[in-house]
Every structure is written in C-alpha cells, then in structure tokens.
Chains A and B, each alone.
Chain A
Amino acid sequence: MLQPYFQAMNDSDIAKFISESLWIYPLDQAIHLLFLALFAGSILILDIRLLGFGMREQSTAKVARDSTPWVILGFLGLVATGIPQLIQNAMREYYSDFFWIKMYVLPVALIYTFTVRRMVAQAEEGRVSPAVQKVVGLVSILLWFGGVTVPSRLIGLFT
C-alpha cells in the first residue's frame, strides 16, 4: 500500500542529494546516535527510579518533571535525523521487517510514555504502589529499547 510513497522517496532529489555527499549521511547517523544517548538517558533516569533504584531519595514526580524536556528534545532530534536516513534508504527500509517493527512499536511507546508512565510518575507519593511503578518502568524499558532501539540497529545489519 505504501510502496509508491517509499519508491517516491527513494527516487527523490533529496535522496540523490544525500547520496552524492560523502559525509552528510554518516554525520546524520552520528548525530542520530547522539540524540539517542540524550533520549535514552532521560528515559532511563526515570525508569530506573520507577524500578526502585537510582535516585531513590527523590520523588518520581520531580524526576519526571526534570527529565521530560530532555525526552522531548531527544525525541525531536531523533526524528529530525531519522527522516533523512529513511529517505536515503527508503526501499531498503520498506523491505526490512525490523523497520516495520520499529514503526509499529514507536507510536505505542510514545503514547505509553506520555499517558500511563507520565500519570504513574506524577501521581502523589504513596498513591501508586511500588509494584505498579516497577512494572511501568520495566514496560517502558522493554518498549523503547527492546521494541525500538534493538530493531533499529538490526535494520542496517540484516538487509
């Protein structure tokens, strides 16, 4: 269904422009990885706290409020540097199962982060049991790293 759109991206001037440059694509990949580190850190600082480790003297609400701007900045950076890679490799991505796993899990992880995880983290202290917090933190880690990061790396390794 989406194949014509991927083909159009593949044949676009932007794709040609990127592939004609020696360094745009590698540098874009490198900056993507920098935003990944920022994003991962800001996600993990709260997930580790939800699991009952890390900054335990601090409330989950404060850790959540402090980390959210960096989650958003990291995510926007990942999208901005991810799109050129998609355009450049459109047909490779289209035929990669790992790309589609990433694309299906990504919106789930995103919605989960800004609904369930956010509400649990921002709830008044004592209103959510530690067991629930642990599950919420663990699910976040599994969605983002198991469902998004790992398949992302596999796209390039198995083509």
Chain B
Amino acid sequence: MAELLSPLRSAFEFVSNLENSIALRESQYVWSLFEVAHVVSMCLFAGLIIMMDLRLLGIGNMQTPFSQLQRRLFPWQMVGMTLSAITGLVLVFGDPMRFYSNVFFWMKMTLMAIASLNAMAFHYTTYFTVDTWDHKVPPFGAKLAGALGIGLWAFVIVAGRLIPYNWFQ
C-alpha cells in the first residue's frame, strides 16, 4: 500500500516545498482568510443542499414544488460548491503534508465522492418522475436520496471539523 501511494506522497511533498505553499502556511492572515471563506462558502453550499434534502424528505419547504426549488437553488449550490472547492484546494496547497497524513481528510474526500454519486444517482433515476410528485410528499426513492444526502454531507462536515484532531496518525 505504502508503495502504491508513493507517487501521491511525492506529489504532496512536491507542492509542500513550493515557495507559494510555504508562504501561505506561514502567513497567518492569508491562511485565516481562506479558513473563514471556506466556512462561509460551506454555509451556502451545505445550507442549500440541506434545504433541498428536507424537501425531498417531505418535511421542509413543502409549499414550493420540488422542481422549482431544485431549479432555482441549483445555481447557488454550484456557486457554494465552487467557492468551497477553491478555498479548500488553496488550504491543501498551503499545507499538503498536514492533510496527507490525516485520516479525517481522506474520510472527508471519500464521503464527498459518495455524496456526489448519491446526487447523480437521484438525478438520473427518481428525478425523471418528478412530475408525478412535484407538489406532494416525494416517493421512497426521493426520500432515500434526501436522507442519504443530509447524512453524507453531515459526515463530510464532521470529518472536516475533526481534521485538526489527528487522533489516528
């Protein structure tokens, strides 16, 4: 395993030695700026994902048809996701070795991939029948997607918050 991962490790080490990377982790202000921006963009992204998932579960925003909520919030979710991704990448760029050796970081990355698959699976299956449940409590498939969405993104957030506590190094 260690051998298999060595190209990845080299890539992280390479970035870690770049001048800009060193400058970023040594600058308290720039580093903090990105930490703050990451939390605020998470609010936009995860917040609006939760609003959509509550509607899928049939327990929130029920006065708005699902297709309208989905269509209107989607651009904002994408803005939130893009900003979260950019600020997150900058933080990894600024201190790659701290993240490389962190189990919560890799948990977060894995959970994000699974959460994205969940969103895509819903979009290419249950969402096709949205016309039949747009104004009602959604069917089981949609509820499942909503529950998985909230659960997975919640674990993404928890894993992210636990990165500073590297208990299992």
Binding site for B on A (CB under 8 A): 22, 26-27, 29-31, 33-34, 36-45, 48, 53-58, 62-63, 65-67, 69-70, 145, 149-150, 153-154, 157-158
A44 touching B32, Cβ below 8 Å = no
- Of B1-9, B91-99, B159-167, the segment with at least 4 beta carbons within 8 Å of chain A is B159-167
Among B40, B50, B64, B158, the residue within 8 A (CB) of A38 is B50
Do most interface residues of chain B lie in helix, strand or loop, or is the interface mixed? helix
Is there contact, CB below 8 Å, between A154 and B68?
no
Residues of chain B in range 22-42 having any CB-CB distance to chain A below 8 Å: 28, 32, 35-36, 39-40, 42
Contacts A55-B68, A153-B39, A158-B32 given; does A42 touch B161 at CB 8 Å: no
Q: Does B15 contact A (CB under 8 A)?
A: no
Interface of A is mostly: helix
Residue from the set A55, A67, A150 with the largest chain B CB neighbour count within 10 Å: A55
Interface centre among A31, A53, A157 (most CB of B within 10 A): A157
Residue of A37, A63, A145, A157 most packed against chain B (CB within 10 A):
A37
Compute how far the CA of A48 lies from the CA of B157 in the bound complex, rounded to whole angstroms: 23
When distances are taken between beta carbons in the complex, the residues of chain A under 8 Å from B64 are 55, 58, 62-63, 66
In the complex, what distance in Å separates the CA atom of A88 from the CA atom of B92?
29
When the two chains form their complex, are residues B46 and A26 in contact, meaning their CB atoms are under 8 A apart? no
Where the two chains meet, the residues of B that have a C-beta atom closer than 8 Å to any C-beta of A are 28, 32, 35-36, 39-40, 42-44, 46-51, 54, 60-64, 68-69, 72-73, 76, 153-154, 157-158, 160-162, 165, 167
CB distance from B52 to the nearest CB of A (A): 9
| A63, chain B: closest CB distance, angstroms | 7
Residue of A nearest to B154 (CB): A34
Q: CA separation between A27 and B69, bound complex, in Å?
A: 32
Interface hub of B43, B48, B54, B68 (most chain A Cβ within 10 A): B43
Q: Which of A48, A67, A150 contacts B40 (CB 8 A)?
A: A150
User: Would B47 and A40 count as touching, CB distance under 8 A?
Assistant: yes
Nearest CB in chain B: distance from A1 CB, A: 30
Residues from chain B with a CB closer than 8 A to the CB of A48 are 76
Contact indicator B43/A40 (Cβ below 8 Å):
yes
Which A residue's beta carbon lies closest to that of B31? A157
The reply to whether A54 and B43 form a contact with Cβ atoms under 8 Å apart is: no
A42 touches B63 (CB 8 A): no
Q: Which residue of B lies closest to A144 (CB)?
A: B43
Q: What CA separation (Å) do A149 and B36 show in the bound complex?
A: 9
Q: A34-B157, A37-B46 are in contact. Are A149 and B40 (CB under 8 A)?
A: yes
| Inter-subunit contact A62/B63 (CB<8 Å) | yes
Please tell me if the beta carbons of B48 and A41 are within 8 angstroms of each other in the complex.
yes
State whether A42 touches B162 (Cβ < 8 A): no
